[in-house]
Structure 1
Amino acid sequence: MVKLNLKSTNIRRNGFSLIEIVVALLILSTSILVIYNTILSSSTSIYKLEDHYLAKEIANNRIALIHTIEKTNRPIERNGINDMGGKSWHWEESIYNGISKEFLEYEIKVRQKDSNQYSYTIKGYLVNE
């Protein structure tokens, strides 16, 4: 009987090579960074959306007051501070003559009290009575 030594052709691998580990870690770190950036941008967008919504509600409240209690028939500028959603909001309201005598034009700008950038701006018309 002839015995053949097959050890040289039967290569056993015990684990991963260094290159395989580096490639796996590169893929893992890239996917973790992508997931982290997605979560971060989503949370930032949610906060911006919340601020935009609250500023819009402040402006809508001002419009309701312009149409009811604080109705005016002449150009005027007003500003003030409202608290909503646990934040202080600064609003600026400008009412000026429209394109005809029957209408007044208004513009309302709303921003957070400590910010210089407006979160919401709306323009519209009032019937001059």
Structure 2
Amino acid sequence: MARIVAIDYGIKRTGIAVTDDFQIIASGLTTIASETAIAFLTDYFQKEKVEMVLVGEPKQMDGTPSQSAEIIEKFVALFKKNFPDMPLTRVDERFTSKMAFQTMIDSGLKKKQRQNKALIDEIAATIMLQDYLSRK
């Protein structure tokens, strides 16, 4: 089997999570500057076998697209252009950032550590990926 990569794409930062080769466990990989996402993924895909990529789909409570949806759609188009053979699945990412923050609190991280927005993005991608795995 190959890995699944989850991307929590944002205006400034992008959180990335991956599964193990057996697609059982989701783990945070890193947070990168969003403008470097395609270059990072190109390098990662050359080093690791990846079966599919999940990209978060931001929605409002009523199911309509959120303000950041347009930015993410541009990224998705760029992704498909650069990786036309890589399967891409969109997944609902509502509440993942709030859940990531709560996870940090529950883990006992100090207030200063919880202010690390890069860590929040990485945890949000991990939550999105683990949720996908549990529904699969």
Same fold (TM over 0.5): no
TM-score computed with the length of structure 2 as normaliser: 0.21
Higher helix share: 2
Pick the structure with greater CA Rg.
Answer: 1
TM-score computed with the length of structure 1 as normaliser: 0.21
